[in-house]
Structure 1
Amino acid sequence: MVVQASKRYFFAEFSIDIGKRVLRRGEEQIRLTNLPFQVLVYLMENRDRIVTRAELFELFWQGKDVYDETLTKCIGAIRKALDDRSESPRFIETRWAEGYRYIGPCEQEPERAAPGLIEFQKTDGLKIVIEEETVQCDTPGELQKIIPQTQAARATRSFSRRAATLAFVCAIIAMASVVLALYLTRAGSGEIAISKTRSIVVLPLKNLTGDPAQEYFSDGITESLITELSRIDGLKVISRASAFTFKDKEVDPREIGKRLGVATVLEGSLRKSGDRVRVEIRLVDAGDGRVIWVSDTYDRPLKDIFAVQDDIGCGVAANMKAVLCREESGEFAKRYTYNVEAYQAYLKGRYFFYSQYSKIGPVEALKRAREYFEKAIALDAGYALAYAGLAECHAQMVWYGPAEPKAAIASARAAALKALEIDDTLVEAHVALACAYCYERDFERAEQENKRAIAINPNYAPARHEYATYLVFMGRLDEAMAEIKRAEELDPLNLVIAGDLGQVLYYAGRHDESIEQFQKLIEMNAGCKAMLNIGMAYLEKGMHEKAIDELQEDMKCRGRTFERVASLAYAYAVGGRRANARSLLNEMTEMSKTKYTPKLFFAYVYAGLGETEKAFEMLEKAYEEHDINLLMMKTHPWLGSLRSYPRFQDLLGRAGLPD
C-alpha cells in the first residue's frame, strides 16, 4: 500500500485530512468526533459499493452486540457535520435493510514526501524508495524479490507530446500493474499463500459520464488493463467475457472472488468529457473486502496531458520502467500508436467486436467493428493492433457472412500477416492467423500459430480456446479437453467457452457429461440456446423422441435458422420420421436459393436418411465451396455411416485432415 505523508479528500465545499483527522468547510474546521470521522473516511474510500450495517458494526464496534441506534447516531453525526439530509442526501445515502453508500463527489489529493520521490511501504520493515533511476531497499535480497532486473531499468521523461492521451492511459495501467506486481511478489515471500493471491479480475471501469456513447472508452481501458496484467508471469487473470458479466452490477468483491475463484479485484471509474479524462482505480482483497491500494485521482485536460508527466512521471513512470516497461524486452505498457484519433477508433472497433451477441447481432456488430478498425488504420498505417482487430473481424465473418467464406478467409490472413509484419509479438494477430490457416486447411501452420500465441501469453483465453477448436478438428480430443478447460479457468463465465466445453464432451462420446454441461449453460443465462446441443446429445444416446422435443423447443425459442432446420431434419431422419425429414430438406433447399448455405448440413440429412450417393455429392460441393464446416468431417458423429467408404477417406486426405 502506498504510504503518503498525508491523504486529503475534497468533496463539494468540504475537505478532509486523514493524517491530521481534520474536517473543513472551506477554511473553517468542522468538529467531528473520532468514530464518525473514521466511518466517514471508510464510506468515502468504499464509495463504489454499498457498505452494509453488519460490516460497519464488525469494523468499528468489533462485532459487539450494540443497538442499531448506535450506528444510526453515528451516521447522524456525519450528516450534521456535512449539513446532509437523509431524505435528499448529497453525501451519505441510506439503503434500507442494507447499509450506507457515499454518493457525493470525491477528489483525492495526496501530498508527497518530496518532489520526484515515491515510497512504497509494506509491513515487517520492507521498503522500496524509487527516486530518478535509483531503487533502494532494506536488503539486497528483498530488492531481488520485489523488482527483478532493476539494473536494466531506465526512468524516462521522453514521452512524445503527440502521445499525450496514450501516455496517460499507459500511466494508469502501469500504476495498477506496479502495485499489483509488488503486492503479489510480497505475497510470494510467504506472508500470504501464493495460491490465494496470484489471481485477479479487472472489473469494467464504471462510465461516470452518463453517456452510453462513451462506453467504448471505459470498456477499452478495462480491456487494456486485462491485457497488460495477463502478461505478468504466474498471475491468473480472468478474461474479458467473465469480467464483463459484472458490468453495471453492484456485487460485493467478496462474492465476485468466490464466483471466479480469484483473490483480488481491480475496480474503478472513468469519466471522459470533452477534452478531459478522470480515472480512479483501486485494488481490493476478495477474501475480506479490504482495500489494498487506491490510486491517485487523475483529472486533467487531454490537451495538457503531457504535463501530467511532472505529476506522475517520476513515480509511476519510474516504477513502470523498473517493473513493467523494460526497454530491453518491451514487455509491458507498449504503445501501438501515437495517434489519439486512431486509438479511439480502435477502442470503438473493439467495443462493437464484443457486441456480437448483443441485440444488434453478429453481422451488424462485425460490420461496424470492421469500419472502425479500418478507420484506425487509415489514420495510422502502422497500427498493428488495428490490423489484428480487422483480422479477427474477417475470421468471425467466415461463420456469419452471407457469401462463400473464401474472400473473408483471405482478408483475415492478409490483415493478420500485416499486423505481424509490424509486431511479431502480437498475440491477437497470431490467433487470427491461426484461424485463417485452419480455414484454408493449412493445418501445420495453423498449429504453429496457435502454439506461438500461447507461448507469447499463456493467460490469453482466446488463444487457448482457438487451439482447442483446432484440436477438435484434428480429432485430438484429449488435448482439446485440456485446452478448453484451461480457457474456462481463465474465463469461467464465458458462455461461448462453456458451450464449447460441452461440444468437446459431445464429440468425445461423453454424452451424459455433455448434457450436464449444457444444462449448466442454461443456468448461466444462456437461455434456450443450449437446447440444440442437448438434443444432439440425446440423439447419440438413441433417445430420438426426446431429442426431437428439445430441437423443436429450441427452434421455437431461437427461430428457424438454417442450422436449426437442418438439425431437426437429421433428427427426424434417424428417428424414422422420413416424411418430416424430407419436408424440412425441401425447406433447406428453398433457403439456399436466397443466401449462402453450408452444403455439409445437406450431407448430414442425406446421411441420416441413408442416401449415401447424395450425401457424398453434398460433401464434394462443400469441399469445392471451401465450406469451413467440412473441418468437422473427422469428428462429427452425423457422418459416422459414411466413414467406412474409401471415398470418405479420400476426401479427408484432400481436405488435409488426418485419417
Structure 2
Amino acid sequence: MSTDFTFGPFVLDRRRGRLLREGRPVAVSSKGLRLLEALLGSPGQALTKTELMQAAWGDTAIEESNLSVQIAALRKQLGPISEGGDWITTVPRVGYRFVGLPATEPMESTAEPKALSAEHRPWIAVLPFTNLSGEREQEYLADGITEDIITALTRFRWLFVVARNSSFAYKDRSLDAKQIAQELGVEYLIEGSVRKSGQRMRISAQLVEARSRRHIWAERYDLELTDVFAVQDEIAERVAGAIEPELLKTEGAQAAARHTGNMTAWDIVRRGTWHFHQVTRENHHKARELFRQAAKLDRELPEGHLWLGRVNAGLVAYGWSDNRVADLREGTEAALKAVQLDERNPYAHYSLAIISAYADQLEQSISAARKAIEISPSFALGHLILGTALLFNGSATEAISPLEYGLRLSRHDPQGFAWFNMLALARLFSGRPEAALEAAARALQVRPNWPTSLEVLVCCCGTLEKWDEARRWAQQIAGFTSPSDDILAPLKAHNPAWTEQMASSLRRAQA
C-alpha cells in the first residue's frame, strides 16, 4: 500500500517526509508537512485549528498565530490551483479545508525524485541520536537534541531536511548508512550519540556522505548539564551551524567536478562557491564570473545575486579588486536584489551586511547582520559579520560576543583567519591583550603568513611589551613585496586612535 498523497503536480511522500512538485523537492518545514498530511487525509472537510495544532505540535502548548504562519507558508509553497485560488481555504471561526482531491487508489511510491538534476538541493536526514548513558530516563534528552537539530537545519536554504517522523522510524535499528539513505532518498546523514555522567554531558555528531560512506565532518562537545533545554538549543545550533558550511563546500566541489558545459543557474552558483572557498585572488575572480553568469541566466534566483555580493566584498577586503568603487557598487546592488527576491534568506542579508561593511555603510551592515540572525539564530556568518561591523564602528567590547559565538559555531570556516583577526582586535581594544594574542595566533594557524595576521600579532605583542616577538613578526611583514589587503580598511577609517596604536607598534618593531 502506498504512503503517498498526490494532488495536481505534487506528491507528498509520507514515508520519506517530503513534498515533490513534478519530481523535484519543495522546501517545506516539518510542521508544514504534518499540517499538509492532516489536510490531505480529510479532503473537502474542515479541520479545526485545535485538530491541526495537535497534528503538527502534539501536546506542546503554542500560540494560534504559529498555525497561521505555517498555513500561510504552505499556501505560498504550493502556489495557486491551475484554475486559480488556493489549495487550502480558510473556514471562518473553524479552521482550514483542503480543496483538491488527493488520489484514493494505491500507487507505486516514488522511490527517487524523477530527474534528480544538477539543480536539486541536497537532502539530509538526522538520525535519532543514541543514548549512551545507560539510563532510559535520559532517552528524552537524546530525542530532544535530535529534533532540535532537525528544526535548526530546516532554516537553511541550501538543503532539504527529512521530517522528524521519517527519521525516527530508524530509532534503535542497526542498518547500514547506505541502506537508510536509499530508503529515505537522501544524500547525507547526520549520526550522533549522547552520554550523560553526573552534571556533564558529551555529545558526538558526524556528517556522512551516504553513497560512499565517507565522513565529511565530525565533532565532539563536552558541556555542563545545568539546564537541559538550554543545552539542547546550544548543541542544536552548534551542530547545525558547523554542518551547513561543510555541505556548502562538498556540494560546490561536486558541482565543479560534474561540469559538462550544459549548466543550470543553480549549478553554476555551486561551482562558484567551490572557487570562492579556495580564498585566492584567481579563484575569487573565477567565482565572480560564475556568479555573474548565474545571475544573468536566472534573474529570479536569489543565490546568484547574494553570492555576487559576497564575492565582491571579498575582492575588496583581500585587496584583490581592480576597481574598488565599481566592485562595491556591483556587490551592493546584487545583495539588495537578493534581499528583494528572498527576504527570508539569511544569506541574502549576510551578503548585504558584508558588502555594506566595506562600502562605508556600517549601520546598514549591522542592521542586515541582525536580520540574518533573527531569521536563523544558528547562522554563524550572521554572528561573525555582526561582530565585525560593530568593531569597525568602534564598539570593540560589544563585538566580542558575536565573534566568539560565530567562531564556535563554525570552527572550520576557510576564511576563519579573517574572523580570528577581528576577534583579536576586539579583545585588544577592549583591554584584553593576552586573549587578543591567543586569537591572533589562531588566525596565523589557519592561514600562515597572511599580512594582516602578522600586523595584528605585532600590535598584540607590542601592547604586552613582548618586543622580541613583535620584531620577529615585523620582519616577516617586511618580506612581502605585494601590497597588504584592505580587510581592516573600515576599522582604520573610523577609528584613528586604534589605527595609531597599531601603526606605533609596527614602527617600533621595525626600528
Q: Normalising to structure 2: TM-score of the pair?
A: 0.54
Q: Does 1:429 align with 2:352?
A: no
Secondary structure of the residue aligned to 2:208 is strand
Q: Which residue of 2 aligns with 1:551?
A: 474
Q: Which residue of 1 aligns with 2:379?
A: 460
> C-alpha offsets along residues 279-299 of structure 1, whole Å, 9 cap, x if unaligned?
999999979xxxxxxxxxxxx
Distance (whole Å) between structure 2 residues aligned to residue 641 and residue 442 of structure 1: 25
Shift of 1:441: 2.7
Q: Which residue of 1 aligns with 2:426?
A: 504
- AA aligned to 1:350 is T
Shift of 1:426: 2.8
Shift of 1:469: 0.8
Distance (whole Å) between structure 2 residues aligned to residue 449 and residue 640 of structure 1: 29
Shift of 1:386: 0.2
Q: Which residue of 2 aligns with 1:395?
A: 313
- AA aligned to 1:133 is L
* Equivalent pair of 1:461/1:487 in contact (CA under 8 Å): yes
> Residue 255 and residue 492 in structure 1: after superposition, are their counterparts in 2 closer, same or farther (change >3 A)?
farther
Counterpart pick for 2:339 among 402, 420, 431 = 420
Q: Which residue of 2 aligns with 1:538?
A: 461
Shift of 1:450: 2.2
> C-alpha offsets along residues 616-654 of structure 1, whole Å, 9 cap, x if unaligned?
xxxxxxxxxxx6464352462535899xxxxxxxxxxxx
Q: Which residue of 2 aligns with 1:46?
A: none
Distance (whole Å) between structure 2 residues aligned to residue 118 and residue 419 of structure 1: 33
Distance (whole Å) between structure 2 residues aligned to residue 180 and residue 132 of structure 1: 27
Task: Please provide the CA RMSD for this pair.
Answer: 5.5
Q: Which residue of 2 aligns with 1:144?
A: 57
- AA aligned to 1:461 is A
> C-alpha offsets along residues 73-129 of structure 1, whole Å, 9 cap, x if unaligned?
xxxxxxxxxxxxxxxxxxxxxxxxxxxxxxxxxxxxxxx7766574599xxxxxx99
> Residue 393 and residue 188 in structure 1: after superposition, are their counterparts in 2 closer, same or farther (change >3 A)?
farther
> Residue 262 and residue 499 in structure 1: after superposition, are their counterparts in 2 closer, same or farther (change >3 A)?
farther
- AA aligned to 2:382 is A
Distance (whole Å) between structure 2 residues aligned to residue 157 and residue 381 of structure 1: 20
> C-alpha offsets along residues 508-567 of structure 1, whole Å, 9 cap, x if unaligned?
231111222334455x554455554332211122333331113324666xx44433xxxx
Distance (whole Å) between structure 2 residues aligned to residue 447 and residue 474 of structure 1: 9
* Equivalent pair of 1:467/1:483 in contact (CA under 8 Å): yes
Secondary structure of the residue aligned to 2:264 is helix
Secondary structure of the residue aligned to 1:267 is strand
> Residue 420 and residue 284 in structure 1: after superposition, are their counterparts in 2 closer, same or farther (change >3 A)?
closer
Distance (whole Å) between structure 2 residues aligned to residue 146 and residue 164 of structure 1: 39
- AA aligned to 1:437 is S
- AA aligned to 1:468 is G
Percent of paired sites with the same residue: 16
> Residue 506 and residue 364 in structure 1: after superposition, are their counterparts in 2 closer, same or farther (change >3 A)?
same
Q: Which residue of 2 aligns with 1:473?
A: 392
* Equivalent pair of 2:392/2:491 in contact (CA under 8 Å): no
> Residue 635 and residue 438 in structure 1: after superposition, are their counterparts in 2 closer, same or farther (change >3 A)?
farther
Q: Does 1:490 align with 2:352?
A: no
Shift of 1:193: 5.3
Q: Which residue of 1 aligns with 2:483?
A: 562
Counterpart pick for 1:369 among 287, 295, 304 = 287
Q: Does 1:134 align with 2:134?
A: no
Shift of 1:483: 0.8
Secondary structure of the residue aligned to 1:265 is strand
* Equivalent pair of 1:633/1:639 in contact (CA under 8 Å): no
Counterpart pick for 1:267 among 193, 205, 208 = 208
What aligned pairs does 1:54-65 form with structure 2 within 5 A after superposition? none
Distance (whole Å) between structure 2 residues aligned to residue 562 and residue 195 of structure 1: 51
Secondary structure of the residue aligned to 1:458 is coil
* Equivalent pair of 1:535/1:551 in contact (CA under 8 Å): yes
Distance (whole Å) between structure 2 residues aligned to residue 282 and residue 521 of structure 1: 23
Q: Does 1:191 align with 2:145?
A: no
Shift of 1:392: 0.9
Distance (whole Å) between structure 1 residues aligned to residue 441 and residue 302 of structure 2: 40
- AA aligned to 1:433 is L
Q: Which residue of 2 aligns with 1:447?
A: 366
* Equivalent pair of 1:200/1:265 in contact (CA under 8 Å): no
| Paired residue total | 352
> Residue 447 and residue 521 in structure 1: after superposition, are their counterparts in 2 closer, same or farther (change >3 A)?
closer
* Equivalent pair of 1:507/1:635 in contact (CA under 8 Å): no
Q: Which residue of 2 aligns with 1:638?
A: 500
> Residue 344 and residue 478 in structure 1: after superposition, are their counterparts in 2 closer, same or farther (change >3 A)?
same
- AA aligned to 2:40 is E
Distance (whole Å) between structure 1 residues aligned to residue 463 and residue 274 of structure 2: 39
> Residue 166 and residue 384 in structure 1: after superposition, are their counterparts in 2 closer, same or farther (change >3 A)?
farther
- AA aligned to 2:141 is I
Bigger Rg, structure 1 or 2: 1
Shift of 1:404: 5.2
- AA aligned to 1:491 is S
What aligned pairs does 1:509-658 form with structure 2 within 5 A after superposition? 509-521=431-443, 526-527=447-448, 529=450, 530-553=453-476, 559-563=480-484, 628=490, 630-634=492-496, 636-639=498-501
- AA aligned to 1:547 is A
Distance (whole Å) between structure 1 residues aligned to residue 274 and residue 395 of structure 2: 34
- AA aligned to 1:169 is H
Shift of 1:468: 0.7
* Equivalent pair of 1:199/1:262 in contact (CA under 8 Å): no
> Residue 386 and residue 498 in structure 1: after superposition, are their counterparts in 2 closer, same or farther (change >3 A)?
same
Shift of 1:460: 1.5
Distance (whole Å) between structure 2 residues aligned to residue 188 and residue 377 of structure 1: 52
Q: Does 1:347 align with 2:260?
A: no
Secondary structure of the residue aligned to 1:347 is helix
> Residue 176 and residue 159 in structure 1: after superposition, are their counterparts in 2 closer, same or farther (change >3 A)?
farther
Q: Normalising to structure 1: TM-score of the pair?
A: 0.43
Distance (whole Å) between structure 2 residues aligned to residue 509 and residue 391 of structure 1: 34
Unaligned 5+ runs, structure 2: 6-12, 18-33, 61-65, 83-112, 165-189, 196-201, 222-261, 505-511
* Equivalent pair of 2:391/2:491 in contact (CA under 8 Å): no
Distance (whole Å) between structure 2 residues aligned to residue 344 and residue 159 of structure 1: 29
Distance (whole Å) between structure 1 residues aligned to residue 432 and residue 192 of structure 2: 35
* Equivalent pair of 1:481/1:504 in contact (CA under 8 Å): yes
Shift of 1:393: 1.2
Q: Which residue of 2 aligns with 1:85?
A: none
* Equivalent pair of 2:206/2:215 in contact (CA under 8 Å): no
> Residue 200 and residue 468 in structure 1: after superposition, are their counterparts in 2 closer, same or farther (change >3 A)?
same
Shift of 1:226: 6.1
Distance (whole Å) between structure 2 residues aligned to residue 442 and residue 283 of structure 1: 36
Shift of 1:372: 0.9
* Equivalent pair of 2:207/2:218 in contact (CA under 8 Å): yes
> Residue 429 and residue 631 in structure 1: after superposition, are their counterparts in 2 closer, same or farther (change >3 A)?
farther
* Equivalent pair of 2:128/2:191 in contact (CA under 8 Å): no
Q: Which residue of 2 aligns with 1:585?
A: none
